[in-house]
Amino acid sequence: MADSTNLVTVTDDNFKEQIEDYDGLSMVDFWAAWCGPCRIIAPFVSELADDFAGRVRVGKLDVDANMSTSMRFGVRSIPTVLFFKEGEHVDTVIGAVPKAQLAQKIEEHL
């Protein structure tokens, strides 16, 4: 499945601009190419980027290529999905969870 055009690639270099300076709710999927559970939730993350387009910024951050941000937020297990509101970390979901659980977290913070 192709990634959504609504997904933002988040890196150590652009995290502040894309997430912390964003005016609204952001969801960032911390993942790695070798991670099986990350591949399980990847389609859900893409679908949510489309489902909530214009209301929520949805990004993906490769933990292998962006260790600084991963360490900063204490990401030790992947997939980890962090939620930010007005740039502040407000919630965390760890593991391969159903799409509905991620959608519920989004609705909770909108």
Helix, strand, coil % over all residues of the chain, rounded to 5: 35, 25, 35
Please confirm, yes or no, whether 10 is among the known catalytic residues.
no
Pairing of strands 25-31, 80-85: antiparallel
Q: In 3-state terms, what secondary structure has residue 75? A: coil
Task: Report helix, strand or coil for 102.
Answer: helix
Catalytic residue selected from 19, 27, 38, 102? 38
Please tell me which residue in 35, 61, 78, 102 is annotated as part of the active site.
35
The reply to whether 4 belongs to the active site is: no
Pairing of strands 88-94, 80-85: antiparallel
- Catalytic residues, by residue number, are 35, 38
